[in-house]
Structure 1
Amino acid sequence: MRGMVVSPVFVGRHEELATLASELSKVQTGRACFVLVGGEAGIGKTRLVDEATRLAETSGLRALTGRCVELGPEGLPLAPLAEALRTLSRSASPEQVDAWLGPARGPLAHVLPSLEPIPGTAADQGAHLPELVLGMIERLSADRPLMLVLEDLHWADQSTLNLLTYLIRTLREAPVLMVGTYRSDEIHRRHPLRPLLSGWERMRQARRLELVRFRRDEVAAQVAAILGRPADPGTLDLVLDRSEGNAFLVEEMVEVVRDGGGDAAGLSPTLRDLLLIRAEARSAAAQRLLRATSAAGRQVPERLLAAVAGGEPAALFEALRELVENHLLLVDEGGQGYAFRHALARDAVYHDMLPGERAGWHVAYAQALSSNPDLAADQAGAPAALAHHWLAALDLPAALPALLAAAKTSAMYAPAEQLTHLERALEIWPRVPDAAALTGTDLIEVLTEAGDAAYRAGSVDRSRSLVGQALAELGENGSVSRRALLMWRRGRTLLDLGQHDESISILRAALDLLPAEPLEYAHVALLTPLAATYMRDGSMQEAATVAERAVAVATAVGAHTEQAEALITLGWVRAFLGEAESGIATLMDGLRLAEQIGAVETAMRGWTNSSDALEMFGRHQEAIDSANAGLELARRTGSVRTHGAYLAGNMIESMVHLGHWQEARRAIAQALRSEPEGLFSAALLERAAQIAVLSGRGEEAARIAGQARAMVIDSNEPQFLHPLAGDLAEAQRLAGDLDAALATITEALRHPGHAHLARFSLPLIWLGTRIGIDRAILARDRRKAGPSDEIVEQLVAMVGDFPVITPADQGYALMIAAEQTRLPTAGPPSSQEWHGAVTAWRAADEPYMLAYCLFRLAERQCATSDRGEAVRAAAEASRLAARLGAEPLSAEIDALARRARLVLSDEVSEEPAPTSPDPMAQFGLTEREREVLGLLAAGRSNSQIAAELFISPKTASVHVSNILAKLGVTGRVEAAALVHRLAPSHPALIPPGPRPGR
């Protein structure tokens, strides 16, 4: 072997390496970190990361590396993930790999076929690949801290970028260091990586390192390390002048100088010539092989190169040895192929070929892969590589079927790349003679598949456009079934864009196209979403009729997934229409069928709807159990951020109604750690705002509700807007701004919603009625001109628009009627109405609403001189409010007791605890500071305190600083010791229960 070309000494970059070492130390304490390493091509990014990887492995971390592949727009989806998995599978036993992969094994087998998917794995799990990969990484890092390197992100496919973005945002408490490298000189204004870089830089756990060129002293050190001696000033000047401090080009110049005996003054100054000078010094056979290798990309398997290059094996290996010994090629890490030492060298060789020569090599690769796809480095990437080579050879008739095959391979796990392949196929379709005969399909089918791929990739507008093109291509005289199914796809996009009426119209029109007989799949494909759309639109009778027909047709044609979907819809609608038991039973039949056939998405919808229906009828614990079962499925299938967020929201709603507020807060914190987006996140934040405002933290509730409202700004659905308006209005009421509270409520009720949304609208109507009456009473007490009763009258009139079906509906209707007895213009005081409301909420098993009604009942009884009954009602209300932590309600009850001189202490507890002095009173801590101190004493970090209390880490830090100052201590340890010494069991300082793990 010739002398080395890479410096054996790590030169420069010591500050950057220290930064990476610092991030590694953070990872070993259990924190997730992310570092971006940028710089121009050849600047030394890989060498820096290699040095950091050695540090990581020395420190006991597991290191995995994956590289993005430059293969044009037909690139290999998730190539770096496949490479990292390949390394992992070689480094551990099959049993250990199985344990790490867990439920991700099935979808990941599409990325790396050697994993062999587990039989029976649901096909639609691939849609949730990012969450499944997250679970795999968490299991890996739990076994041993992990360093994951993703190189050449400037070549990353969209699926890789989506996965990386998800991991950066969701990995918080796992010991993982992710490092990404990219060429900063490649990131043009429209590059897909550019906006992501800006977003990542703003994240607290992300660091960015930008490498600059070497200074003269660093170049001198690099050259001396390579040569084994200091370079003379003339040589150093020449190397520095031609390389301009680029580390890779320094290496190339040293080789040129060494090959030329130290005289390279006549060398052309262009980068291309510099990179080619050593290649041109090799034998003709070696140069030919180098050009063949460049057409494959930066790396090529040995067997594939041999098939393409042809000739005798002895001659092949002689030429390969020459290239390896002269550092033009390297043996790849797996020992199965060869790679250029740097992508710049590959680019120079590739672009030095004549166009016809390049095309010839691409044809050779395409022919070799066509005859034997196993020659590819990764069988999953063979179709994409084949498409790339035929396109590069400008052989469009051969490229078209290859693009369709690549799209089919990507469909299961990379819809963005599937769409790219299909759009390239659509682009060249008109230029390929007899394209339909050649591919065995037609343009309409390709457009349809592209529309489906766009829909799965989240590009709903693009899907609608492609489906529209397919409809136009089909024309009025095409197949009726085909047209109907295309109209179904268009209706699906309209529904997702919030255009319910348009969606219903197009689905009905599509059904009208189909003959009544014979029944076929197209019938049920239209009936099933039509029933669900009617349900969402509040047209329950129509939904029931269509769902019943959908079940019958699906059963007749054997469409099991649609049958399960229709049963779930039918069950929920029947339950709403008053057939609770039979409706829930029908819903569960659909759910069981979905699980039996492995329809994960449908099963998830079944668990969501069943928990919703059970909660609707006041069966809170059953609803929690149902939501928990769905959450377990969400965790197994990687849909915690989507379906799982809705299920968590349903579960938390039931917890709140049951009065399990602390448990609900912990569940919210856990669900939010998975970083759900949009409506999924808003549903969780609304629950957090509700608990905050009922607990008396109005400012916090308003802030959280504001965050949630920003996420649903484009929605006009009452199920999101009404609860958020209620939280904000209650916060405004607590702040004493009754006018603003009423304005918030009346604005929200401009969209009152359909009858099936009574559970969201009636609470808002009640709150508005309560606040309107409070305002009237306040105006009377201040002897000012009071507002008219118009607002209250309008709100009360709305109640008649909603059917009273569920126990909660009954409670709100009775409570709204009872509130009117508090109006200054009402007749003599009576407690009868509040007795009815108390009975209703006791039956509904919602302690907060029961406590409120008991409080109002006691208030009425005081006015009617029924003091004994008043004491009993107020005492029960006080116990319930205290147990819940509903401080505003407790304060109102206490104020009533003071005004009416009700003695509640003996009623609150059979054995009242003696009042003990507060040992912490001397420090003047606020209530929130006591909460923070309790968590601090329990060992929580600032970020954990922030998560527990739903405040920002910065706010938590400010509270901690204030607490330390008030206590007169210098640190957290002293503060905790002081608490444990003075108030080891004081209730005001007892922190909430332990935070659950993921």
Structure 2
Amino acid sequence: MRATVVSPVFVGRQEELAVLSAAAAAARAGTPGFVLVGGEAGVGKTRLAEEAASAAEEAGMRVLTGHCVELGPEGLPLAPLVDALRALTRSASPEELNRWLGPARDPLSPLLSVVEPVAGQGTGQAAQLPELVLGMIERLGAARPLMLVLEDLHWADHSTLGLLAYLTRALRDVPVLLVATYRSDEIDRRHPLRPLLSGWVRMRQARHLELPRFGRVEVEVQVAAILGRPPGTDTVDLVLDRSEGNAFLIEEMVGIVRDGGDAAGLSPSLRDLLLVRVEARSDTARRLLRAVSVAGRRVPERLLAAVAGMEPSALFEALRELVENHLLLVDEGGQGYEFRHALARDAVYHDMLPGERAGWHVAYARALSADTGLAAEPSGVPAALAHHWLAALDLPAALPALLAAAEASAGYAPAEQLTHLERALEVWPRVPDAAELTGTDVIEVLATAAEAALRAGSVDRSLALLKQALADLGEDGSASRRALLMERRARALRDLGQPEEDIALLRSALALLPSEPSEYAHAVLLTSLARAHLAEGMSEHVAEIAARAVAVAAAVGAHVEHAESLVTLGSAQAALGDTEPGMRMIDEGRRLAERIGAVETTMRAWNNHSDLLEMLGLHQEAMDSATQGLKLARRTGHTRHSGTYLAGNLVEPMMRLGRWGEAEQAIAQALRGEPEGLFAATLLDQSAQLAVLSGRREEATRIAGRAVRLASGSRDPQFHQPLAFTLAEAHRLAGDLDEALDTVMDALAADNSLWLGRYSWPLVWLGTRIAADRALLAHARRAPVPSPADPLASIAATVPTVTTPARGYALLTKAERTRIVPGPASGGTPTSPGPGGVDGPDGTPSSPGYVDAPGSPLGGLCPEWQAAVAAWRGAGEPYLLAYCLFRLAEALCAVGERRGAGDAAEEAARLAGDLGAAPLSADIGALVRRARLAFTPGAAPAEPPAGPSAADPLERFALTDREREVIVLLADGRSNSQIATSLFISPKTVSVHVSNILAKLGVTGRVEAAAMVHRLSGPHL
């Protein structure tokens, strides 16, 4: 072997290496990281990454490296992932590989020939691939800390960039370090990597290293290391001048100098500089090097031999010459060859004449067409053929190759599929017999491209392609075909949040079809129309349309549509009250979807099934159903999409059952997957509701605001009404009752009978509660009572009460209204808007205890609240039970039923405390203190709360707890009778307290006392 032109010593970059080493150490400790290494071509990015990888391996990390490939738009999707996994498959046992791949095995099987899919499970889709890869990386990291290096990101395809963007967001608490290199001098403002770089720079866990060129000191060290001796000053000056400190060009210059070349007389052209050592090789070696350059940076040995057409002895002699002179390297797997640097490959490739290049491209295309096994990975052959035929300008051969490449990437890379199809559309007009050659027509290519664009997230592009397809088809074209194109366009409009246009277009498409006989197009359109109506909220036509869809799909053998329409019909029936047949219909649709392998339909069935169970108040059954769906979601990689809805369906019954800690953990776990749009809004809504019920008002408002923005494109009550509940409760806790009630009324403006009032009833109750608070507050201040709760009563009369939760809310709302309209049945006295208390005539309970069952010792006292307590006890929902018990205790205090009030308050306090419902606990605690309730019958009064803090400005006046309660209301401008009403004591007792307060404050009247309190206490009131 000749002496190397690569420095055996790692030169400079100590600070950058330290950053990578620190990131690797953090990853080994369980903190994932991401390091971007940028710099111009040849500056030393790869060498730095290799040094860091070597140190990581010595520290016990597994290192996987993948390279992006410069093959233009026709390149292999996810090339660096395939490259990295190919190395893994060489070192892992079949058992290890199967364990690490897990659910990612099937979707990755088209990319890796050594990975066989599991029989009967099918392959994954592009939407699921990122999270399946995430799971695979997490399993690899759990087995051994992992460094994943992705080289040459400036050549990455859209799918690779999307995958990396997802991984950088979603990796949490796993020992994984991602390292990516890219050429910063090739990233212009239109490059797809540019917006990602901007986002990554702002990420807390990301580090960005930009490598500068070497200075004179580094150049001298590098030259000396290559030569094995100290260089002369003239040599260093010459190398520095011609290389300008670029590490790769330094190596090339030193190689020329060492071999006796006249470096001073070289052309300043970069290409000429890089070709000097090439021109010194034999004719056979140069010819072979040109062949390698056409393959890209790397080529398998068998493929090169087939393309070169050389005798084995001559082939290997030429290869040895190129390897010994460091123009080629044996690749990592030992099965092929690669250029030492992409700059050298570019120089050789572009030095050829156009005809010579085209000839080599044709040779590669023919060799791969004859034997796909010659490729390093057969899955890349369709893309490679498209690239080579296009580069050779053989359009008749390129067109079918492009369509084949599009079909090959359809399952896992829709962006690349779209690129292939758009290239085919460009070529199509220039191939006279395109339809005969491909076996299809341009309309089908346009429609397929539109579908790919939709799956890739390019909705506007999808609409444009469908518009062109419809125009090319013309009014005289097949009615069925036109209707199906319109259905695809309607789905795109649905994704843009245009439901009216979606439904109108579907109806227009149906009108194009003859009523008889039914055909596949009927099944597709009816299924889509029924689902569109269902999404918009139970139109009276949903069940009818869905039933027609079921019948037609079954008749024409449209199995996916049959399963879909069964799920839609069952959901419609159940949501309208015909629950048992509806649930059976959903199960039938799910079983059919499972038989035919329609994963997304199966997920939808589990989602709707669990959701309807929760609507019926069957919380545990809803959790069980959602759990089954989530298992499928994790196995098939749907956790970011359908799985997010299922996670929400698991969280909601957890919340209802009082398992708030588990619910918060489940939300956090689901949000780790970085769901987007409405998927994320589902979880954020529940997170916000947990926060507000726990007393974290500002956090709840912030989270709910984010969810509102994400759900802004939808008018579905299942998103907007729960969010309105959270925001209204946050306003109530902040004391803004007017804004709270407005929020409720705005959200109830939609049809409140939808889904049996599931989302409306909580708002109706909360609105009634707020209206009662406002009315009582106005009454206490002798102000005009604001708008009464009559509008809410009217709404409540229209909302169904056929489910257990609905009946509970109806009773709760009825009880809440007794706080506004007092009557003999509710004790005759309105209770306060906040916590209250009682000073009974003799301070003794008037009843032996509290029991919320018919015939209890409470008799007919507070029957509305007793009924509400019984309803929510039966429903098994501790939060609402605690609230009802609190209000029952408050109402019992108003009629002097202290023992019953104490029992109710005790249970309410225990339930609220177990939940962590801080605002409700505070209300209950205030009631207990004001009413001086004993928690157990016959026990002494509860201990008074701890005294005021040292920072309390009223402390020096030695006010009692009751006097402090009185002075708060006095400072609010209330009269003695109003204070008596609020605190459930007599006006005479209030008068005594006020006299004592005036004496302690040293003031002569109520106004002066109020002014002093406001001046001293402010927020302490």
Q: TM-score, normalised by structure 1?
A: 0.88
Rounded Cα–Cα distance in structure 2 between residues aligned with 1:46 and 1:638: 33
Report if the CA contact (8 A) 2:753-2:800 is conserved.
no
**1:811 match:** 808
Give 1:829 deviation, angstroms: 3.7
**1:767 match:** 766
> Cα distance 1:62–1:916, how it changes in 2: closer, same or farther (>3 A)?
farther
Tell me, yes or no, if structure 1 residue 429 matches structure 2 residue 460.
no
Report if the CA contact (8 A) 2:935-2:942 is conserved.
no
What amino acid is the match of 2:619?
H
Give 1:690 deviation, angstroms: 1.1
**1:156 match:** 156
Rounded Cα–Cα distance in structure 2 between residues aligned with 1:327 and 1:551: 68
Give 1:441 deviation, angstroms: 0.5
**2:640 match:** 641
> Cα distance 1:14–1:900, how it changes in 2: closer, same or farther (>3 A)?
closer
Rounded Cα–Cα distance in structure 1 between residues aligned with 2:747 and 2:754: 16
Rounded Cα–Cα distance in structure 2 between residues aligned with 1:556 and 1:785: 66
Count of residue correspondences:
916
Map 1:785-934 → 2, pairs under 5 A: 785-789=784-788, 792-823=789-820, 829-830=826-827, 831-906=862-937
Which whole-Å deviations, capped at 9, do the CAs of 1:326-376 have from their partners, x for residues lacking one?
A: 111111111222111111111111111222222222122222222222222
Give 1:190 deviation, angstroms: 0.6
Give 1:301 deviation, angstroms: 1.6
What amino acid is the match of 1:195?
P
Report if the CA contact (8 A) 1:126-1:413 is conserved.
yes
What amino acid is the match of 1:884?
L
**2:195 match:** 195
Give 1:422 deviation, angstroms: 0.3
**1:579 match:** 578
Give 1:848 deviation, angstroms: 1.5
Give 1:679 deviation, angstroms: 1.6
What amino acid is the match of 2:906?
A
What amino acid is the match of 1:839?
A
> Cα distance 1:691–1:15, how it changes in 2: closer, same or farther (>3 A)?
same
Give % identity: 66
Report if the CA contact (8 A) 1:537-1:754 is conserved.
no
Unaligned segments of structure 1, at least 5 residues: 925-998
Map 1:500-519 → 2, pairs under 5 A: 500-519=499-518
**1:544 match:** 543
> Cα distance 1:890–1:383, how it changes in 2: closer, same or farther (>3 A)?
same
Rounded Cα–Cα distance in structure 2 between residues aligned with 1:493 and 1:836: 49
Map 1:72-83 → 2, pairs under 5 A: 72-83=72-83
Give 1:913 deviation, angstroms: 15
Rounded Cα–Cα distance in structure 2 between residues aligned with 1:543 and 1:747: 26
> Cα distance 1:87–1:649, how it changes in 2: closer, same or farther (>3 A)?
same
Which whole-Å deviations, capped at 9, do the CAs of 1:216-258 have from their partners, x for residues lacking one?
A: 1111111111111111111111111000010000000011112
Which whole-Å deviations, capped at 9, do the CAs of 1:400-426 have from their partners, x for residues lacking one?
A: 111000001001111110000001111
Report if the CA contact (8 A) 2:493-2:501 is conserved.
yes
Give 1:42 deviation, angstroms: 0.3
Give 1:917 deviation, angstroms: 13
Report if the CA contact (8 A) 2:889-2:901 is conserved.
yes
Rounded Cα–Cα distance in structure 1 between residues aligned with 2:534 and 2:141: 44
Rounded Cα–Cα distance in structure 1 between residues aligned with 2:587 and 2:635: 20
**2:173 match:** 173
Rounded Cα–Cα distance in structure 2 between residues aligned with 1:127 and 1:736: 45
Map 1:464-543 → 2, pairs under 5 A: 464-543=463-542
Report if the CA contact (8 A) 1:256-1:278 is conserved.
yes
Which whole-Å deviations, capped at 9, do the CAs of 1:268-325 have from their partners, x for residues lacking one?
A: 1121111111111212222222222211111112222222222322222222222111
Give 1:508 deviation, angstroms: 2.3
> Cα distance 1:182–1:446, how it changes in 2: closer, same or farther (>3 A)?
same
Rounded Cα–Cα distance in structure 2 between residues aligned with 1:799 and 1:441: 58
Give 1:866 deviation, angstroms: 4.3
Rounded Cα–Cα distance in structure 2 between residues aligned with 1:300 and 1:494: 45
Map 1:592-611 → 2, pairs under 5 A: 592-611=591-610
Tell me, yes or no, if structure 1 residue 742 matches structure 2 residue 741.
yes
Answer with 633-642 or 737-746: which moved more: 737-746
Report if the CA contact (8 A) 2:720-2:747 is conserved.
yes
Rounded Cα–Cα distance in structure 2 between residues aligned with 1:840 and 1:482: 55
What amino acid is the match of 1:245?
G
Rounded Cα–Cα distance in structure 1 between residues aligned with 2:142 and 2:115: 22
What amino acid is the match of 2:476?
N
What amino acid is the match of 2:884?
C
**1:452 match:** 451
**1:624 match:** 623
Tell me, yes or no, if structure 1 residue 230 matches structure 2 residue 230.
yes
Secondary structure at 2:114's aligned position in 1?
helix
Report if the CA contact (8 A) 1:716-1:751 is conserved.
no
Report if the CA contact (8 A) 2:732-2:770 is conserved.
yes
| Structure with max Cα Rg | 2
Report if the CA contact (8 A) 1:728-1:741 is conserved.
yes
Tell me, yes or no, if structure 1 residue 689 matches structure 2 residue 688.
yes
Rounded Cα–Cα distance in structure 2 between residues aligned with 1:235 and 1:135: 53
Which whole-Å deviations, capped at 9, do the CAs of 1:903-958 have from their partners, x for residues lacking one?
A: 224599xxx9999999xx9999xxxxxxxxxxxxxxxxxxxxxxxxxxxxxxxxxx
**1:381 match:** 380
**2:775 match:** 776
Rounded Cα–Cα distance in structure 2 between residues aligned with 1:78 and 1:245: 33
What amino acid is the match of 1:656?
M
Report if the CA contact (8 A) 2:576-2:756 is conserved.
no
Give 1:740 deviation, angstroms: 2.7
**1:34 match:** 34
Rounded Cα–Cα distance in structure 2 between residues aligned with 1:189 and 1:706: 32
What amino acid is the match of 2:805?
A
Give 1:744 deviation, angstroms: 2.9
Answer with 531-540 or 60-69: which moved more: 531-540
**2:134 match:** 134
Report if the CA contact (8 A) 2:536-2:715 is conserved.
no
Answer with 197-206 or 514-523: which moved more: 514-523
**2:994 match:** none
Report if the CA contact (8 A) 2:105-2:117 is conserved.
yes
Give 1:549 deviation, angstroms: 2.1
Rounded Cα–Cα distance in structure 2 between residues aligned with 1:904 and 1:494: 60
Rounded Cα–Cα distance in structure 2 between residues aligned with 1:129 and 1:916: 61
Report if the CA contact (8 A) 1:722-1:761 is conserved.
yes
Q: TM-score, normalised by structure 2?
A: 0.87
**1:995 match:** none
Map 1:44-59 → 2, pairs under 5 A: 44-59=44-59
Give 1:838 deviation, angstroms: 2.9
> Cα distance 1:72–1:188, how it changes in 2: closer, same or farther (>3 A)?
same
**1:85 match:** 85
Rounded Cα–Cα distance in structure 2 between residues aligned with 1:330 and 1:915: 84
Structural RMSD (CA): 2.3
What amino acid is the match of 1:183?
R
What amino acid is the match of 1:266?
G
**1:978 match:** none
Give 1:754 deviation, angstroms: 6.0
Rounded Cα–Cα distance in structure 1 between residues aligned with 2:431 and 2:165: 38
**2:206 match:** 206
Which whole-Å deviations, capped at 9, do the CAs of 1:761-807 have from their partners, x for residues lacking one?
A: 22123212211221121122123344232xx3223322344333322
